[in-house]
């Protein structure tokens, strides 16, 4: 009898263990890391991107999840602290075991995260325009490279439609993205025949608030008798006092137009845009784009966020494209394994929100259209110019001598982020 009881207990134990294992398996999720600043100087821009990923996760779960599992968003706050981005990325990968990460805004934060992502073989989707000069096998760059934003922007300004600008102020926040972008732009402008003395370059720290002297200097620089424009790589909440000071000093778009690379609908939502009407921004998406896909996205966003006053912007579209491409790749290969999914990403397509088709290229950059929008008094942009078709993102610029011979291609036989076409050699392991 004792033996029978033990056997029964043993069978019961096995049954309980089996049920527990089954429950654990049933509760298993695919974890999506969200690495965006929810506090600090970049929260003005990044909080919305966190919400965008939460919306996309919720939407995918409503469709039944992915590979038979629900997605679980794991949100951390690196708080606009660049070294903390690396720590939070490590936390996401080592502690939370996320399958993918969507995050970062500034290039300095991305550079901080890069060694961690590569060491731990994570996968990062980076949704913001940046300076290029990089291609890591662990990062997919869904924002614009310089040839998809900065170069077309100055070409537009120099054209008759853009005012035939002859003098340029390159104003940026003091970190890697503005400095590298302005290095590219300065050389490009010189190559186009703009004298060096007609190029003014200025940098300010993150969160800069006192713009009176700088705007006065810009006004003086623009009074030399040549049509002048500001090309702005100012990031984060410093844009609010910058644009306010332009209005305070009476600088209108007719006098000195500003074309911005980091100011979209979200940044303008907290500003009186009346004095800013006519100033410009260059992106790959504007909320005002007319397409069924955009209308549907805006409707879903308003429902998710609970307010019809909330705007959409370019980095949100980049996350929308990147997230759905990742889902499509995972479904195609039946796993979230980083190395397997990476190979499935090449050549993958997904409709963008402006009516075209985004393509992921083997250099980890998208094919996207380039749009230039003019600020309206309601905080929206009227699209005044666009490329006739999508532009392939270039990881390495053609306008710097150290980069013009480099290409990125993460497929065989090259398998390199910075392959020198002259020497026939890879200059490094990843980027």
- Domains of the chain, each with CATH number or no CATH: 35-142+292-368 (3.40.50.2300), 147-290+370-392 (3.40.50.2300)
Neighbours of 407 (CB within 10 A): 18
End-to-end CA distance of the chain: 70
- SS3 label, residue 77: coil
What confidence score (pLDDT) does residue 259 get? 97
Instruction: Supply the angle between the helices 176-191 and 107-119 in degrees, to the nearest 10.
Output: 110
What confidence score (pLDDT) does residue 272 get? 83
What confidence score (pLDDT) does residue 428 get? 61
Residue with tokens 């004095």: 275
The CA distance from 384 to 342, in Å, is 36
Q: Which residues 6+ apart lie within 8 Å of 340 measured at CB?
A: 333
What confidence score (pLDDT) does residue 275 get? 84
**pLDDT, one tens digit for every residue, the chain (431 residues):** 334 434 333 444 433 334 333 333 444 999 999 999 999 999 989 999 999 999 999 999 999 999 999 999 999 999 999 999 999 999 999 999 999 999 999 999 999 999 999 999 999 999 999 999 999 999 999 999 999 999 999 999 999 999 999 999 999 999 999 999 999 999 999 999 999 999 999 999 999 999 999 999 999 999 999 999 999 999 888 988 999 999 899 999 999 999 999 899 988 887 788 888 999 999 999 999 999 999 999 999 999 999 999 999 999 999 999 999 999 999 999 999 999 999 999 999 999 999 999 999 999 999 999 999 999 999 999 999 999 999 999 999 999 999 999 999 999 999 999 999 999 999 864 45
pTM summary value: 0.90
Instruction: Supply the angle between the helices 239-248 and 212-221 in degrees, to the nearest 10.
Output: 60
Burial class (CB in 10 A: 0-12, 13-18, 19+), 19: exposed
What confidence score (pLDDT) does residue 1 get? 38
What confidence score (pLDDT) does residue 12 get? 42
């Amino acid at each position: 009898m004792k033996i029978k009881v033990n056997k029964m207990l043993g069978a019961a134990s096995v049954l309980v263990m089996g049920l527990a294992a089954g429950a654990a398996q049933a509760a298993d999720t695919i974890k999506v890391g969200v690495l965006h600043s929810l506090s600090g100087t970049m929260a003005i821009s990044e909080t919305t991107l966190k919400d965008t990923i939460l919306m996309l996760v919720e939407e995918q779960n409503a469709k039944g999840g992915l590979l038979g599992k629900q997605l679980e968003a794991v949100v951390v706050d690196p708080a606009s602290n660049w070294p903390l981005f690396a720590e939070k990325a490590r936390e996401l990968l080592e502690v939370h075991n996320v399958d993918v990460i969507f995050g970062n805004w500034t290039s300095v934060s991305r550079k901080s995260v890069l060694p961690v992502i590569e060491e731990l073989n994570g996968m990062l989707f980076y949704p913001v325009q940046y300076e290029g000069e990089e291609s890591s096998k662990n990062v997919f760059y869904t924002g614009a490279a310089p040839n998809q934003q900065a170069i077309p922007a100055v070409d537009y300004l120099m054209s008759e439609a853009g005012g035939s600008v002859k003098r340029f102020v390159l104003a940026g926040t003091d970190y890697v993205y503005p400095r590298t972008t302005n290095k590219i732009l300065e050389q490009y402008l010189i190559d186009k025949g703009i004298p060096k003395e007609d190029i003014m370059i200025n940098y300010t720290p993150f969160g800069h608030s006192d713009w009176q002297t700088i705007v006065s200097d810009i006004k003086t620089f623009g009074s030399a008798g040549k049509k002048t424009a500001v090309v702005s790589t100012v990031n984060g909440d410093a844009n609010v006092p910058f644009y306010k000071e332009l209005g305070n000093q009476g600088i209108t778009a007719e006098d000195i137009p500003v074309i911005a690379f980091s100011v979209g609908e979200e940044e303008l939502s907290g500003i009186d845009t009346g004095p800013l009407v006519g100033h410009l921004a260059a992106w790959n998406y504007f909320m005002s784009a007319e397409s069924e896909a955009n209308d549907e996205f805006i409707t879903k966003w308003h429902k998710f966020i609970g307010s019809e006053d909330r705007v959409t912007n370019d980095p949100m579209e980049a996350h929308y494209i990147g997230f759905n491409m990742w889902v499509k790749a995972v479904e195609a290969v039946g796993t979230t394994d980083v190395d397997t999914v990476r190979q499935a990403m090449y050549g993958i397509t997904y409709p963008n929100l402006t009516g075209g088709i985004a393509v992921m290229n083997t250099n980890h950059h998208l094919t996207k259209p380039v749009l230039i929008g003019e600020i309206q008094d309601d905080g929206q942009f009227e699209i005044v110019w666009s490329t006739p078709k999508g532009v392939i993102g270039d990881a390495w610029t053609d306008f710097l001598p150290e980069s013009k011979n480099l290409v990125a291609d993460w497929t065989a036989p090259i398998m390199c982020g910075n392959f020198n076409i002259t020497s026939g050699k890879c200059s490094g392991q990843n980027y």
